[in-house]
């Protein structure tokens, strides 16, 4: 996969918490060093870049000029629209201005995380700063959503590997999510599924059924209505994912999960 002409990437942090970057930093095959030194050319990333202040802004401007039309724009975070976007500014520019500017010079856009894909937690009702997902702003570029809160870093790496290999975006579902990662429900691959099928449920957190690893449906698990590969790919190379750790899925890869999937806990 090593490409002598590593594709230039600009990574924007908009209305977000940086958890998506933190998730990516915990991947190990390839690790982030291999990703940014061998596979892509990371031109701008506020968390990872050494430059700061004016120097960082100059890096961005230089990348936009040098690689115009060839950039891959990765976005972490949603876009604030209310009151002309004044509630989130980076280097004096609103998230809307920044996204439009970088997208204009990009060949494709990857919305990484549920905030970038659908607005995320900042867009939860009553959405006080008018946050939307990237696809509500960028309409004229190939775009893919890799949601999750945080998303699984391997789903981003696999998306990038696909782009490097085939020079196009992978096949997506109706929410622009790659089908290879979001084509099946959590419930389809969950290791607690035999308990669901046999009617063995946790009735209350901490009860005997919980200790025995029974199904979490009755205490709020949204695995039956959530599309993602968490039970298969798991997190942080530790082999764990929310349900294996004893917590129900909250549907974090679905749009508006903060409004539509509540209550997260049922007793
Ligand atoms: Fe943070 Fe979740 Fe938004 Fe990522 S999707 S920036 S982890 S709130
Ligand atoms: Fe389905 Fe959730 Fe039960 Fe797993 S724990 S079988 S995802 S309802
Ligand atoms: Fe999110 Fe559910 Fe996976 S909460 S991390 S989609 S198990």
Mean pLDDT by 10 residues, the chain (267 residues): 74 98 90 88 94 95 97 98 96 97 98 98 98 98 98 95 93 98 98 98 98 98 98 89 97 97 90
Res 2: pLDDT: 45
Residues with CB under 6 A from ligand 2: 186-187, 190, 192-193, 196, 215-217, 221, 223-224, 243, 248-249
Nearest residue (CA) to ligand 2, atom 1:
187
Query: What's the N-to-C CA distance of the chain in angstroms?
Result: 49
Around 7, how many Cα atoms within 13 Å sit in the side-chain half-sphere?
24
Identify which ligand lies nearest to the alpha carbon of 226.
3
CA atoms of 213 and 31, how far apart (whole Å): 32
**Domains of the chain in sequence order:** 8-180 (3.40.50.700), 186-260 (4.10.480.10)
Interface ipTM: 0.98
The predicted structure's pLDDT at residue 172: 98
Q: How many helices (DSSP H) and strands (DSSP E) are in the chain?
A: 12, 9
Please write down the HEC assignment for all residues of 170-212.
CCECCCCCEHHHHCCEHHHHCCCHHHHHCCCECCCCCCHHHHC
Q: Tell me the pTM.
A: 0.96
Q: Probe ligand 1: pick from 19, 155, 257, max atoms within 8 Å of CB? A: 19
CA angle 208, 209, 213 (to 5 degrees): 120
**Of 31, 25, 128, 127, whose CA–CA distance to 76 is shortest?**
25
In a mutational test of the pocket of ligand 2, which residue from 184, 185, 190 has the highest number of ligand atoms less than 8 Å from its CB? 190
């Amino acid at each position: 996969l090593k490409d002598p002409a590593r594709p230039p990437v600009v990574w924007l942090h908009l209305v977000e918490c940086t958890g998506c970057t933190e998730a990516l930093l915990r991947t190990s095959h390839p690790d982030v060093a291999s990703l940014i030194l061998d596979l892509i050319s990371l031109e701008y990333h506020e968390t990872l870049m050494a430059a700061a202040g004016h120097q960082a802004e100059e890096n961005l401007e230089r990348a936009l000029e040098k690689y115009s039309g060839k950039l891959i724009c990765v976005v972490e975070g949603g876009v604030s629209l209310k009151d002309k976007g004044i509630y989130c500014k980076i280097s004096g520019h609103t998230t809307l201005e920044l996204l439009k500017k970088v997208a204009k010079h990009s060949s494709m856009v990857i919305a990484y995380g549920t905030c970038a894909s659908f607005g995320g937690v900042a867009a939860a009702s009553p959405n006080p700063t008018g946050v939307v997902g990237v696809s509500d702003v960028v309409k004229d570029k190939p775009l893919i959503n890799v949601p999750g809160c945080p998303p699984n870093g391997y789903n981003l790496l696999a998306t990038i590997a696909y782009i490097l290999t085939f020079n196009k975006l992978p096949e997506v579902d109706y929410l622009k999510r790659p089908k290879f990662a979001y084509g099946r429900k959590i419930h389809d691959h969950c290791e607690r599924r035999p308990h669901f099928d046999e009617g063995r449920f946790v009735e209350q957190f901490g009860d005997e059924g919980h200790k025995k690893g029974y199904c979490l449906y009755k205490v709020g698990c949204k695995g039956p209505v959530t599309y993602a590969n968490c039970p298969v790919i798991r997190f942080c190379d530790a082999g764990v994912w929310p349900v294996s750790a004893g917590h129900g899925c909250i549907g974090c890869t679905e749009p508006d999960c903060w409004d539509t999937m509540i209550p997260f806990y049922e007793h």
